[in-house]
Amino acid sequence: MGSIPAGDWKKGIKVQIDGEPYEMLDVHFVKPGKGQALYRTKLRNLLKGSLYEKTYRSGDALESADVHRADGVYSYRDGDAYVFMDNSTFEQHSLPSSVVEDDMRWLMEGASVALLFWNGQLITMSPPQHVTLQITYTEPAARGNTATNVTKPATVETGAEIQVPSFIKEGDRVKIETESGQYMERVQS
């Protein structure tokens, strides 16, 4: 891969540092009164998710990372891993549960996902921003409890537990925001 000079750095580019892929979250050009111009960067490690802040000089360059995104589908669970299919190549790739376990609580088999590859290998996946799931268990609403914003716990068909308004009952389909795990609305069938 080629190198990217500091003057071409911008938010969203993928670079490689010490053999690992990073996404540039922020870059600021700083010109002090004396001396060389600086670039203050904030990067996220795409393998570990950790944040990294570093200041570079104007003559520095970083190697670009061979990272690409693809649309995919969650296929099935295979022991301690989850298997996903790339929609463009129909190849199947697996990820260990330790990498994607938190996001898997919102996915049913056949759900669409965004796949992220580095050097041709799947490194992570992202669920859709919103999912619609059926409520499999929740307590009935308490009679006379009509105060606004009263919530109760409910279990959805994937086994995840969320907080829902008191009028939601078993069998209802609800829209959930996957990043926060919050109830958004009841979906009419």
146, pLDDT greater than 80: no
**Which residues share a beta bridge with 43?**
24, 52
Answer with the residue of higher pLDDT: 121 or 145.
Answer: 121
User: What pLDDT is attached to residue 15?
Assistant: 92
Please name the fold of domain 130-187: OB fold (Dihydrolipoamide Acetyltransferase, E2P) (2.40.50)
Q: Does domain 3-64 have CATH number 1.10.287.110?
A: no
Name the residue with tokens 């009841």.
Answer: 186
Cα gap 11→27, rounded to integer Å: 7
Q: Residues 79-90: what's their mean pLDDT?
A: 94
For residue 98, what are the contacts with CB-CB under 8 A and spacing of at least 6? none
pLDDT of residue 90: 93
Band of residue 148 on the pLDDT scale cut at 50, 70, 90: low
| Percentage of the chain modeled with pLDDT above 90 | 57
Output the pLDDT for position 100.
86
pTM: 0.76
Strands in 79-143 per DSSP E: 81-86, 92-96, 112-118, 121-126, 130-138
Neighbour-count burial of 72, counting CB atoms closer than 10 A to its CB (0-12 exposed, 13-18 middle, 19+ buried): buried
| The one-letter amino acid at 180 | S
User: What is the CATH class of 67-126?
Assistant: mainly beta
In terms of residues, how long is the chain? 189
pLDDT for 99 equals 82
Mean pLDDT calculated for residue range 113-130:
91
Q: Residue 64, class by beta-carbon neighbours within 10 Å (0-12 exposed, 13-18 middle, 19+ buried)?
A: middle
Contact 97, 81 (CB under 8 A): yes
Are 106 and 176 in contact, with CB atoms under 8 Å apart? yes
Report domain extents, the chain: 3-64, 67-126, 130-187
Q: Is the pLDDT of residue 153 over 90?
A: yes
Q: What is the pLDDT of residues 30-73, one digit of tens each?
A: 888 888 889 999 998 888 778 999 999 988 999 998 888 899 99
Q: Which two tokens stand for residue 113?
A: 């996902």
The answer to whether domain 67-126 and domain 130-187 are alike in fold is yes
